[in-house]
Amino acid sequence: MTFFIEVTISGLLAGIMYSLVALGFVMIFKASGVFNFAQGAMVLFAALTFVRFLEMGMWVWAAFVVTLVAMIVLATAIEWIVLRPLVARPPIILFMATIGLSFFLEGFGQGIWDNQVHGLDCESVLGIPDIPAGWLMEKGLMISQFDLLAAAVAAVSVVLLVLFFQKTRTGRALRAVSDDHEASLSVGIPLRWIWGITWAIAGLIALVAGILWGTRLGVQYSLSMVVLKALPVIILGGFDSIPGAIIGGLIIGSAEKLGEVYLGDYVGGGIENFLPYLLAMVFLWFRPYGLFGREIIERV
């Protein structure tokens, strides 16, 4: 039983990390109805910038703030150069623009920094070693402190985002913008400012996700691939739902770990890598809008 709990918890904790990446997608999708293909590149860019500043000898917090500023500048530039000329165009055009952006960012990031693998040491960056938490060990559970911290960070981000979206004027404006650009302008919402904010927040999420995942995997090109794990999460949770991204992440995380441990042996193991996508596919049959996604009903 303890083993089952341990597997489940480590699955949930991994899931939270997926959620964090998924949140970046959801942010942009909610505000502009666009699937931001460049989210992975943003995660990589943020992590790379952060790690290089650290290597220059900056303090952790200073590096964090400087990288955050860099992400905001980047978001503003994206808004200015890529999105502004495309206001009120169909979502598919914006989607294509984000594909281009993703290739550019990957190249640009590795161009100004480098393409080596950089380690992010858990203890020096986050202030805690990546070892099982003592107080849980006493209860017989081996859960990494790092995983717990990552989960806490993700949880706080989620609460703040939900408050922001549901309760504030700007949040309400963001939801409005995703529904109708022209109507938003007509009630006085500055579309460009709103998009700037959205991309800046997506940049912040990318930075947090980049640091946490970078600690796990090392900061390198393949970091931009972690977003692939976020895809089944948002399919499950719904493209435009913040709670959906969280629940979806938890389901995917625990399902892949439990599946690997309890079902893996029957099919030769290694199912952890494709089980999430299988789940997402099955899920699409029954709820194409995801668990919490908004159903769009077309009247005929």
Q: Which residues bind another protein (CB under 8 A)?
A: 160, 163-164, 167-170, 172-173, 175-176, 178-180, 182-191, 294, 297
Q: Which residue shows structure tokens 């991309």? A: 199
Instruction: Identify the burial level of 159 via C-beta atoms within 10 angstroms of its C-beta, where 0-12 means exposed, 13-18 middle and 19 or more buried.
Output: exposed
Q: Which of 78, 67, 250, 234 is closest to 151 using CA atoms?
A: 250
Euclidean distance between CA atoms 59 and 279, whole angstroms: 42
The residue (of 95 and 164) whose beta carbon lies closer to another protein is: 164
Query: Within 13 Å and on the Cβ side, how many CA atoms surround 119?
Result: 4
The residue (of 101 and 205) whose beta carbon lies closer to another protein is: 205
Residue type at 141?
L
CB of residue 240 to another protein, shortest distance in Å = 8
The residue (of 238 and 276) whose beta carbon lies closer to another protein is: 238
The residue (of 12 and 87) whose beta carbon lies closer to another protein is: 87
Distant-in-sequence, close-in-space partners of 299: CB < 8 Å, separation ≥ 6: none
Q: Which residue shows structure tokens 């858990």? A: 122
The residue (of 154 and 173) whose beta carbon lies closer to another protein is: 173
Backbone dihedral region of 57: left (phi > 0), alpha (psi from -120 to 50 degrees) or beta?
Answer: left
CB of residue 122 to another protein, shortest distance in Å = 31
CB of residue 4 to another protein, shortest distance in Å = 38
CB of residue 171 to another protein, shortest distance in Å = 8
Q: Count CB neighbours of 122 within 10 A.
A: 20
The residue (of 90 and 100) whose beta carbon lies closer to another protein is: 90
Euclidean distance between CA atoms 79 and 194, whole angstroms: 10
Question: How far from each other are the two terminal CA atoms of the chain, in whole angstroms?
Answer: 53
